[in-house]
Each structure stands twice: as C-alpha cells, then as structure tokens.
Amino acid sequence: MRYSDVTPKEIYLNRRRFLTAALALPIPAAAATLNAGKTAFNAGGEKITSQKIVTTYNNFYEFGTGKDEPAQNAPKWKPISPWTVRIEGEVAQPKTLDVDQILKLAPLQERIYRHRCVEGWSIVVPWIGFPLSALLKQVQPTGKAKFVAFESVYDPNIMLSPRKAGIQFPYVEGLRLDEAMHPLALLTVGMYGETLLNQNGAPIRLVIPWKYGFKSIKSVVRIRLLEKQPPTTWSTSWPAAYGFYSNVNPDHEHPRFSQRDEERLGEGTLLKPKVIPTRMFNGYGDQVAKLYAGMNLDRNY
C-alpha cells in the first residue's frame, strides 16, 4: 500500500464535497451523537479499534498515570461550561471562542486515523473534527508567528498534582505553524459518531496522526501563536527521550521504548497480540514528509 492510498490528495483539496450540516450541541456529561460527513480518510481500510478499548485504555496523566485510571476518574470531572478556547499571541485578531462557536467554523468530518503511542501500541480511531487550520485562520497569524503552543485544562481540585504525576501541569504541547496548518492536523470534538468522553480529551482536542500520541493534546483551553519554539511537557520532563517534533520514526531510538514495531490493540489473541512494523510518519509520509525536507529527523526527534 502506498501512503497516498490512505488519503487521496483530492480529498483534502476538495473538502466542500463533504460538507454536511453539523449539529452544535452543548457539552453533555456523557457522549452525545455527533453528525459528521464521511470522508475518504480511512487509514487504508485498517480495522477500526473497538470503542471500548479507546475509551478505557488511556494516557491522560491529569486523571491518573495508570492506563485504566482516566476512564475511572475522568467521568467525575465536569468540563467548564461554556468551554472556551483563548487564541492569542502573534495574531491580528486574538479571540476567545466557546465550543459552539468553534463547531460552526467548519463542517465536521469523520476521519479514521492510525494513532501510535510512543509506548509501542497503536489504535485506529474514527475521529470527528475539522482541520486545525480553519480555527487558526480565524485569528489571522501575523508574519512573526512560526510556532503554535497549546495548553490543556488543569483543575487541581480533581486532577493529579504534578508532583504525583511526575510531569508539569498544565500540560503543554507545540507544533511548528506549517505543521499546525497541515490539512491532516485535526481539531477534534468527537469520535465513533459521538462527542468526546472526558478521558479522551473532551470537549476539544488535537489529533496529529503522524506524531506520537502525546502530541495530540487533550482538553485544550489556550492556543498561542509564537515566534519561538515553545516548551512541551514531555520534552521538558526527559529531553533525551522526547523531542519537540516527536514524529513517528522507527529509525530513531527511544531510550525506554523500542520503536521498530507496534502492538495493534484489540487484535490477535490474548497471548499473541497483533504486531506490525511501525512506519515512518505513522504511514502518512506521502502527505507530511515535505514539511521536513532537508531536516535530519534523527537529530530533530
């Protein structure tokens, strides 16, 4: 299979074909149905991971560092309503938008993406959202803007303390502006035809399918456009292991986890899970490799 089989170029060049009326719903405590237009983003026809796995096996350290803890603890959390996202920095029009306003910015699309965790497992998820670029264009980044910094919500009353989790909160992530504007970078509000559950980053998160999962920041409250590269939580915590780019790269050694192969969760048998070789850029090289032309990706990990 070629990279272009996963996402035909005409699909993201011609999004209008997939315009579908989107329902802008208030954020409910439990997932609500979310209508989204079907797209040709189908992860090359790879089998979609069961919703049960994707909603019960999570890394969301604010709700506990065990894989099962976010599903246990996150439902107790009530996202602030109305949820707002502040977009500021090197922009002509700083804005604070609530989720309803954001949902109206572009038609919702369903995109089935492979999701590769740095720990060596992967899932295939039908996300619902629209390109992050549609949101960023709203604030008109200035010529100085080169990077985008994202910040997660942090509610110390219900979330783990940074001391216990061992990483800094609020969780922060970052992208280069051209990465953030790439059509594959998805501003995500739902999955499996429903709004996001808390443990999956409700009410609004990023999904950057060619990077390790921790780059896909959850429960975003603040976005800043910057001239300089912003710090990111994991690269601050262990710089030798986690870099700013964190593109899926089987050739770059991670000191803790082998990146050669990945375990596809929910497939295979109990004692013999399905293992597949990890692909450069998680298989999205045809679309994103040009972002890194001339860069040494072993050094810029």
The span of 12-20, 96-104, 252-260, 291-299 binding another protein (CB under 8 A) equals 252-260
Residue 57 amino acid letter: Y
Phi-psi category of residue 178: left, alpha or beta, with phi > 0 → left and psi -120 to 50 → alpha: alpha
Cα–Cα distance, 291 to 158 (Å, whole number): 39
- Does residue number 57 form part of the binding site for another protein (CB under 8 A)? yes
- Does residue number 47 form part of the binding site for another protein (CB under 8 A)? no
- Does residue number 14 form part of the binding site for another protein (CB under 8 A)? no
Q: Which helix (H) or strand (E) holds 52?
A: helix 51-56
- Does residue number 161 form part of the binding site for another protein (CB under 8 A)? no
The span of 47-55, 87-95, 99-107, 182-190 binding another protein (CB under 8 A) equals 47-55
Tokens of 290: 């040009």
Binding mask 97-126 vs another protein (x if CB under 8 A, - otherwise)?
Answer: ----------------------xxx-----
- Does residue number 17 form part of the binding site for another protein (CB under 8 A)? no
Strand order in the sheet with 84-89: 95-98, 84-89, 220-226, 147-152, 172-176
Tokens of 15: 């999004």
CB of 263 to another protein, least distance (A): 6
**Phi, then psi, of 11 in degrees rounded to 5:** -65, -50
| Cis, peptide link before residue 273, omega less than 30° from 0 | no
Residues in the chain: 301
CB of 293 to another protein, least distance (A): 30
Instruction: Pick the closer one to another protein by CB: 81 or 258.
Output: 258
**Binding-site member from 9, 227, 258, 290 for another protein (CB under 8 A):** 258
**Footprint of another protein on 271-290 (CB under 8 A):** 271-275
Cα–Cα distance, 92 to 125 (Å, whole number): 35
Cα–Cα distance, 76 to 157 (Å, whole number): 11
* CB 273 within 8 Å of CB 261: no
Helix residue ranges per DSSP H, 79-226 = 99-103, 132-139, 162-165, 177-180
* CB 141 within 8 Å of CB 170: no
- Does residue number 268 form part of the binding site for another protein (CB under 8 A)? yes
**Binding-site member from 99, 265, 280, 288 for another protein (CB under 8 A):** 265
**Binding-site member from 260, 290, 295, 298 for another protein (CB under 8 A):** 260
**Footprint of another protein on 70-99 (CB under 8 A):** none
- Does residue number 217 form part of the binding site for another protein (CB under 8 A)? no
Instruction: Pick the closer one to another protein by CB: 147 or 212.
Output: 212
Binding site residues, another protein, CB under 8 A:
50, 52-53, 56-57, 61, 65, 67-68, 119-121, 164-167, 237-238, 253, 255-256, 258, 260-261, 263, 265-275
